[in-house]
Chains A and B, each alone.
Chain A
Amino acid sequence: MVDMRVSTFSSWRRAAGRRFVWMLAYVAALLAAPLAQAVEAPERAKSERAEARLVADVAAAAPGRPFTVALQLKLAPHWHSYWRNPGASGLETKIIWDAPKGVEIGELQFPIPKRIPFGELVNFGFENEATHLVDVTPPKDWPVGAPLTLKAKASWLVCEKICVPEAQEFTLIVPTAATATRDLDAARIVARGRSTQPAKTGAPARFKRLEGAQYRIEVDSPSMARAGLKNFFFFPHDWRAAEASKPQKLERTARGVALIIDAAEAGFEAPLTGVLRAEYPSGAPVAIEVSATLMDGAKAVAIDDAPEAPAAPKAAPKEAPAPDMAFGLQASVGAATLLAFLGGLILNIMPCVFPVLALKAVAIARAAHADTTADAGAARHGLRDGLAYGAGVLASFLAFAAGLLALKSAGVAAGWGFQLQTPIVVAALAYVLVLVGLNLAGVFDVALGGGGVGQKLTEKGGVTGSFFTGVLAALVAAPCTAPFMGAALGFALTQDAATALIVFAALAIGFAAPIILLAAAPATARLIPKPGPWMERFRQALAFPMFLAAAWLFWVLGHQAGVDTLFSALIGAVALAFATWALGVAYPRSKAGRIAAVAGAVLALVGALWALSPAWSFDPSERVSTKASGPRMEAFSTARLAELRGKDQLVLLNVTADWCISCKVNELNVLRGDRFRQVLERTDAIYLKADWTLRDEKITKLLGEFGRVGVPLYVVYPRGGGEPIILPQILTHSALATALGDS
């Protein structure tokens, strides 16, 4: 035990030492970067049928930073290459990589496929041009300056009337530097490739088997339901799930579109993944990625136990149950907007937000009281300040939403709560909360330029000050939104940009409403007791919920990155406190004293930043995860889930994260203890726990299969390969027992 601790501590020190070397290298590389630009010319291969080249979008890659490689195929007229499911015949384009150890290479991404008829046979593929993308991440500990050599054996089949398999081995030598530099020409090719890919909207989708090998797939996508789109076709990844030559019958639904499809064979499984494509009247394609769950029989156990009508394919389809929202509400724009508004209201009493708001409220009250006493001018500004505050909140939330949407359109699978999946962000937010707490406790005062956030944070009036109070409130609210607002915001992110912004705006308005109300109606503000010395005590008392929120974030950090990283961040927090103390209440009057205080504070601040380096350089693969263990309890992996399902095993899946409060509540109340174990034993079920505390593409994808972008998610996979049952987000013993079939 002692040995272990010593070794982990020294490994931390080694990591810190590496960090220093890295920083030196960084400076050196910054100077050397312009020299490192000479990339070896990307290789090309050319036949009379196709011209291929492989390029990386960076002139220099940085360790741990992903970049993208594009395989561009330019095809001669009438020749085509193939999608990942080539349709009736043919063969998909492939790359086999040979890369140094530790280099992460993502899946080959395909552009939007098109139907290419050849007689009565139809293929799925590309004409004229196909640009395939692959994300590559060099290891974090890659020596800066050492070039990265990637060998790619690319093979593709091109057919016209006859078929010719072609292959080329490319060698890509990518220089490395401390910071990545883009190769503009290649980046343009990559951007072009990205623009030809189907959108990843996470649109909820489900399918129902009909007679024979026919099935009906529904996709809830307003963007695909637009008027004027034609030639709808669903391209499944599994070759069995569509007879390429058969047309698919379109139906419009309340939320999107549905297709009735003839499968080539009935054996394909849920979730059914693929690409839904349609065309504008101009012929330009529009397409989204689809992951459809199977929906026969009853769906949400807790909500609806109405008897299922016998399947009647001709009849108007029963409105399919949408993924359940928090508190069991149905997902719709209206419900999500309302939920977001209510959620915004509730955010006001969260420990990380309440102190800031309480202060703002007190400041408004002071102004209102002033109205009846001396300074009449102050009250007139009440409403203006309240609105400025609201604007600050709104601007922050909308900026947040816009940032997320941009990430999403760039193809990053970002779920809500992703901001807490990165240790450095968690640590930084913890610092912010500690700083706000110290400010409240009176250790120091902030004076930002132009009236800024104001002396004593919020007390000073002024439109700018109020605006920034709004920004600050939104910022400190960020960690608190994820656990409570996951469902509504997650839903918003699966919708088109306008809907997403509306939902975020509703959240912001709900969040700002109490303060605006207070400011707009001085009468209500006057309900708050008159200003006096009590306000100072009150303000100091408000520091404690802030520290409480910080403590929670430190706990999350510890779970994510281990005790060593946590310890380092705590030391940093102490240094931060020292710096604020030196510049705040302890700030000396003598010149010499001041110099000493400033020097001390700067040193402490540098130390505080330095203390974040383990969190910054944290490698998720080093994580010692808190695995579910014990009989019948296992950690999730895609392979294990498939294996269990293959064995006809009843499976309970829990997708959770340490920063998700409702997940933790459910785990404490329902998913542990004797009662839970007995249910598992009686029903012979296996409990799989998928931990999304840190970013995990596989789990993000798993969530996507159920139309989710956030946690918690509870799923029961019944025996006999039936469709998975989604349990409510607020879990109870009885709902769980019913879903598992325990009487």
Chain B
Amino acid sequence: MTVWLRNAARLALASLIVAVGAATALAAPEVGSPAPAFVGAGSKGEAVDLTALKGKRVVLEWTNHDCPFVRKHYSGGNMQSLQKRAAEAGVVWISIISSAPGRQGHVSADRANELTVTRKAAPAHVVLDPSGKIGRLYGARTTPHMFVIDEKGALVFKGGIDSIPSANPADIKSATNYVAAALDALAAGGLPKVASARPYGCSVKYGS
């Protein structure tokens, strides 16, 4: 009961923050500046509070399971292995679904959990963002669209997941994975060499 209350309080706070953020719709945060704070509704009923994750590295992944570009990275296990590597290294991986109700990729919490199981995915959280508030706060425009946040809460990478914009899974092996590179750089005590990359994929299916 107290957990539920705390979560509800956090959600209320988050809504406020997000409401302020939404005023600057799609103003993407700059690399090097603090990652915008949010509290999202996790698919397992948990509240996901970015501020509370300070001290940990965080990856945000915008996703839409029906988008061919998302499928490109899930069908061969590329995204899953990245998630597992992140988990092993203590990185908090948050998949975010900003599809509006009735639009492609919009799912219920149960369906989101089911997708995690069937796809053998390993995110720490799946956040449901049907209003698109968190998406707009980060200027997320494609699925996938990736963001990497360091322990201090600063955004250190944003953009496309790798160096070859295509829908063809065969391109994955010859591409440079920017998220993996960013996590490696952080683990080595440095900053990602590529801090921003062209996001590619389907557009995020925001509601109007």
Contacts and interface: CB of A to CB of B under 8 A. Distances in A.
Interface of A: 86, 88-92, 94, 118-121, 123, 155, 157, 159, 161-165, 167, 239-240, 245, 264-265, 267
Given A89-B203, A155-B168, A162-B202, A119 B208 contact: yes
A121 B165 contact: no
B111 interface: no
Between B198, B199, B203, the greatest number of chain A beta carbons within 10 A of the residue's beta carbon is seen for: B203
Contact of B203 (A94, A159, A167): A159
A52 to B, nearest CB: 16
Contacts of B201: 89-91, 163
A161 B200 contact: no
Given A162-B104, A163-B67, A164-B68, A91 B167 contact: yes
B133 interface: no
B200 A91 contact: yes
Given A163-B67, A239-B198, A121 B166 contact: no
A155 B68 contact: no
B103 interface: yes
Contacts of A120: 25-26, 136, 206
B81 interface: no
Contacts of A162: 66-67, 104, 202
A161 B26 contact: no
Contacts of A264: 28
Contacts of B28: 264
Given A89-B142, A162-B104, A267-B196, A245 B203 contact: no
Given A157-B167, A167-B168, A239-B198, A89 B204 contact: yes
Contacts of A164: 68
A265 B196 contact: yes
A213 to B, nearest CB: 9
A55 B196 CA distance: 38
B125 interface: no
Contacts, number: 74
B97 to A, nearest CB: 15
B166 A91 contact: yes
B141 interface: yes
B142 A88 contact: yes
B205 interface: yes
Given A88-B141, A167-B168, A123 B68 contact: no
Contacts of B208: 119
Contact of A90 (B104, B136, B203): B203
Given A90-B202, A120-B206, A240-B196, 6 more contacts: A91-B201, A121-B206, A162-B66, A162-B67, A162-B202, A163-B203
Interface of B: 25-26, 28, 66-69, 103-104, 136, 141-142, 165-168, 196, 198-208
A239 B160 CA distance: 12
Contacts of A161: 103-104, 205
12 contacts: A89-B141, A89-B201, A90-B142, A118-B203, A119-B203, A119-B205, A120-B26, A162-B104, A163-B203, A164-B68, A165-B167, A240-B198
Nearest to A244: B141
B45 to A, nearest CB: 29
Given A162-B66, A267-B196, A88 B167 contact: no
Contact of B200 (A89, A118, A121): A89
Contacts of A123: 203
B165 A91 contact: yes
A490 B7 CA distance: 70
Most central of A120, A159, A161, A164 by chain B CB within 10 Å: A120
Residue among A91, A155, A164, A245 with max Cβ neighbours from chain B (10 Å) = A91
A161 B67 CA distance: 11
A162 B103 CA distance: 9
Contacts of B203: 88-90, 118-119, 121, 123, 159, 163
A147 to B, nearest CB: 29
B64 to A, nearest CB: 9
A157 B201 CA distance: 9
Of residues A92, A94, A157, A164, which shows the largest number of chain B Cβ atoms within 10 Å of its Cβ?
A157
A8 to B, nearest CB: 42
Nearest to B195: A267
A90 B68 CA distance: 11
A163 B68 contact: yes
Contacts of B103: 161
B167 A155 contact: yes
A418 to B, nearest CB: 36
Contacts of A121: 26, 141, 203-204, 206
Given A88-B141, A89-B203, A89-B204, A245 B166 contact: no
Contacts of B142: 88-90
A157 B168 CA distance: 11
A155 to B, nearest CB: 7
A227 to B, nearest CB: 34
